[in-house]
Amino acid sequence: MEFITEYLLICFLSLFIHEASHILIARLLCVKVKKIGINWLGTYIVRENGTRWQNVMIGLCGPLSNILMGLLFFRLWNFFFVVNLILGICNLLPIPGSDGMKVVENLQNK
């Protein structure tokens, strides 16, 4: 039971960090965030479309924040490191719906 509680806490914190990073960068780049939500696929934000480079920066910051947080906690909380590293890397993969795919689409858009 303790493992499940720790796992759920880590997942919640990791998803929060991921989405908060998208929101923070969007706001810093003056891209309006319209909605924040959660569904059976995970968490998400709905925002105005920015320029190509704004979209790339917003797309990259979520996965990179997870990788960074994982590395910062490597020695303190190994399980947090693993979950965040996996979340960050998987989100960078260019698979439909992922941040990585959105980044690739924006980089290919001329």
Q: What pLDDT, in 10s, does the model give residues 4-37?
A: 888 888 888 999 999 999 999 999 999 999 999 8
pTM attached to this predicted model: 0.87
Give the model's pLDDT for residue 102.
94
Q: Which residues contact 15 (CB under 8 A, 6 or more apart)?
A: 42, 43, 87
Q: What pLDDT, in 10s, does the model give residues 49-91?
A: 999 999 999 999 999 999 999 999 888 778 889 999 999 999 9
